[in-house]
Amino acid sequence: MHYDLLEAMRVPAPRGRYVRLVINGSYQGIYLDLENVDKRFAAAHGFVDDDVTIYRCGMKNCEMKTWVAPYQDGWEKKTNELAGDEDIRAFERLVNSTPEPELPAALAQALELEAYLRNLVLDALLSNYVIEDSQSFMVHDRVTGRWSYVPWDLNNATSRYTPGTRVGGQAEVEHPLVIFSLGDAWVERRLKERLADSPEEGWLPIFSNLTTRVALHPELRGRLLALLERALAELFSEEVLVPRIDALQALLAPHLGGEQSAVPSYEKRHSDPRLSFPERFADAGRYLKDYVVRRRAFLLQELVRLRAPLDGLMLEAFDPVGGWVELRNRGSAPLDTTGKVLTTDLRRAGVHNVPARVLRPGQAVRFTAAQLGLTFAAEGELGLFDGRSAVGALDVLFYGPLPPGRFYARSRSAPERWEAR
């Protein structure tokens, strides 16, 4: 169903089909066969370049940042291997260093942006929460000059009915809307699990800088929310998906059989032995229908929340060359800066360094780099955090170099936007 939704949204993605697997005459069950992402895929999906360059995200990655942590794998180049990797490095620099006012135009020129936004919609619909291990693809069409994101491994989602799911159980549906971004609470959930299991690895929160920038930019966020609203109206509803789920079960049921020998090996290892595979298969349809109803209701609430005006403690202005940052209370009640964090590394937000101030509504305060114990590079990232969570970002700015004498500031007429003054 996941790949069916991508096809319905007209996004370049592998086509999937169910196959009956027989090895040496022994029936192994039903499996999903996915189209390989290669040059034949590019030709079949309308890429103009007949010699596209394809990269695959490394494990614990897909972050679209300019460096790789020790526990991560870097890009794996799948085609044109001898040509070097400057193309993907240039795209990473664009993602991370394009000044905020220029971001929509820069992404529209370098990325199939509409398709990328639709992929983010799909992630929201499915609660696709393990993107860092999906090993998805970036495909560079050198004729158009644009990159395309091609998703892979969409089974790691809370919408999936897993072998360990209890009959009659329900999926978690309250996954944040913009998945795999700095605003995704599940990023910290997975971080805590990893720190508990293997603290020696030096884990940091894993999220996409590209997705985070889309979520933060008012124009791009607006386009994303509009696409999600359309998907909820046209695709992700009981009226559309309940018949589809019923049809899929009817398609598969005759090929599953009632014998344990016809059950895939993974299912045999993880299923509750007290429950038969047919019982779980029958329950999976109920589970998916319930997920659609409750996830849809949650996403409609999230649409309202994410369209709300700016509120609370925010970054107001920033001059990396002049060495200062200004905060403003855009809320309706006094705010205390005690315990807050300003950081130039969004994956390290644990040092409480903001001097204590109580700001009245509308009041601003300016801090120097020396007061904060920071050094500001000419380009990079600046994050204001609540000091309690690795993903507790109150406000974030990705920035690039500016001409001498200019600095970043929120627009006076449209404060949700950044401008150079």
Give burial (CB, 10 Å; 0-12/13-18/19+) of 250: exposed
pLDDT in tens, 341-388: 999 999 999 999 999 999 999 999 999 999 999 999 999 999 999 999
- Give the C-alpha separation, 287 to 290, whole Å: 5
Round the average pLDDT of the chain to a whole number and report it: 92
In sequence order, what are the beta bridge partners of 343?
Answer: 383
Task: Give the pLDDT score at 261.
Answer: 41
Residue in 3, 26, 34, 25 with CA at minimum distance from that of residue 264:
26
pLDDT bracket for residue 274 (50, 70, 90) = low
Write out the two tokens for 16. 């999937």
Residues whose CB is less than 8 angstroms from the CB of residue 82 and which lie 6 or more positions away in sequence, other chains included: none
Write out the two tokens for 391. 């993903």
Write out the two tokens for 232. 């909820």
Q: Which domains does the chain have, with CATH numbers?
A: 37-234 (no CATH), 238-292 (no CATH), 313-420 (2.60.40)
pLDDT (average), residues 234-247: 96
pLDDT bracket for residue 279 (50, 70, 90) = confident
Q: Report the percentage of the chain scoring pLDDT > 70.
A: 95
Task: Give the pLDDT score at 260.
Answer: 43
Q: Is the pLDDT of residue 36 over 70?
A: yes
pLDDT in tens, 307-318: 988 899 999 999
Do 132 and 206 form a contact (C-beta atoms < 8 A)? Answer: yes
pLDDT bracket for residue 273 (50, 70, 90) = low
Q: Is the pLDDT of residue 61 over 50?
A: yes
Task: Give the pLDDT score at 166.
Answer: 77
Task: Give the pLDDT score at 259.
Answer: 45
Task: Give the pLDDT score at 365.
Answer: 98
Do 11 and 131 form a contact (C-beta atoms < 8 A)? Answer: no
Q: Is the pLDDT of residue 174 over 70?
A: yes
pLDDT in tens, 89-138: 999 999 999 999 999 999 999 999 999 999 999 999 999 988 999 999 99
Task: Give the pLDDT score at 4.
Answer: 87
- Give the C-alpha separation, 413 to 408, whole Å: 15
* pTM for this model (two decimals): 0.93
Could you count the other beta carbons within 10 Å of the beta carbon of residue 115?
Answer: 18
Q: Is the pLDDT of residue 25 over 60?
A: yes
Percent helix / strand / coil, the chain, rounded to 5: 40, 20, 45
Instruction: Specify the DSSP class assigned to residue 55.
Output: E
Q: Report the percentage of the chain scoring pLDDT > 90.
A: 82
